[in-house]
Amino acid sequence: MNKAQVFELLEQNKNPRGIENWQKLTETGGLSSFGIGLTVQRKLAKQIGKNRPLAHELWATDNYDAKVLGLLIDDPKQITTEQAEQQVEELNSGMLRHVFSSCDATLAKSSVAFEVAKSWLNSDDEVRRSCAYGLIYELSKKKAKVYTDEFFLSVISNINKNADKESKRVQLAMGGALMGIGKRNLELNRAALDVAERIGPIDFNEDGQKCDPFDVVKHLTSDYLKKKLGIA
């Protein structure tokens, strides 16, 4: 499949309601959109298949949905730190940050993800900090020995220290990281829960939006998780 065919596919799957919602947003970075939700975008990515050259062509467009597909169909085995640094500089839409670092995109599956996340955690750049926490959410699902409790406890401490000073975008990414970390084991659950309770629900709405605040505590105290971690 080539770029023109991908845009035909996007046109076929456009969502008028999604387009209307996109046009109401303030952080679109000047990108156009077909209004397609992430669930459908993932299905389209599977239909297209992994294709690194095409991924880079789609990323270079000024369309949000095409950029998302570019992130989803890239080859994680070939992603380098240099590519990550270049793309993070080009995240001209707030919502692209989340897909870039999380949402099953390929950066989190790459061999450079852990080092990139660590280097971005204390960056002076807000976008990099936001993406660092998005990556840590994805990495929190993995069981490799390199992902130690000590590392995740340091992230929790970092969030506790800095959350009140951050923007909504970074706070939302921090909340995701807390949620992921707190599902790993009992010690991390207690540490993440303490911080989540202090921060409280995270209201990430832009003007005119009415989504419920992100309640990390609710996720870390679910009956399922209590049973999994042996919490009485």
Same domain, 100 and 154: yes
Same domain, 48 and 117: no
Q: Out of 92-101, 170-179, 210-219, give the one with best mean pLDDT.
A: 170-179
Same domain, 107 and 218: yes
In the chain, alpha helices (H): 3-12, 16-24, 38-48, 52-59, 64-73, 81-88, 94-101, 113-120, 126-139, 149-162, 168-181, 186-199, 216-220, 223-229
pLDDT of 207 higher than 60:
no
Least confident span in 6-15, 23-32, 117-126, 191-200: 23-32
pLDDT of 121 higher than 70:
yes
Residue 33: count other Cβ atoms within 10 Å of its Cβ: 23
Measured CA to CA in angstroms, residue 117 lies from 5, 14, 70, 139, 231 at distances of 34, 33, 21, 9, 30
Same domain, 121 and 215: yes
The residue with tokens 């009956």 is 223
- Amino acid at the residue 160: N
Same domain, 62 and 110: no
Q: Please, which pLDDT band fits residue 213 given cuts at 50, 70 and 90?
A: confident
Domain's final residue, options 74, 102, 128: 74
Same domain, 57 and 132: no
* Percent above pLDDT 70 for the chain: 97
Mean pLDDT within 148-154? 97
In which domain, by residue range, is 69 found?
1-74
Number of domains in the chain: 2
Same domain, 59 and 117: no
Same domain, 100 and 59: no
| Threshold 0.95, pTM exceeds | no
Q: Please, which pLDDT band fits residue 208 given cuts at 50, 70 and 90?
A: low
pLDDT of 116 higher than 60:
yes
pLDDT of residue 124: 96
Nearest partner of 198 among 231, 163, 154, 152, judged by Cα = 163
Same domain, 101 and 155: yes
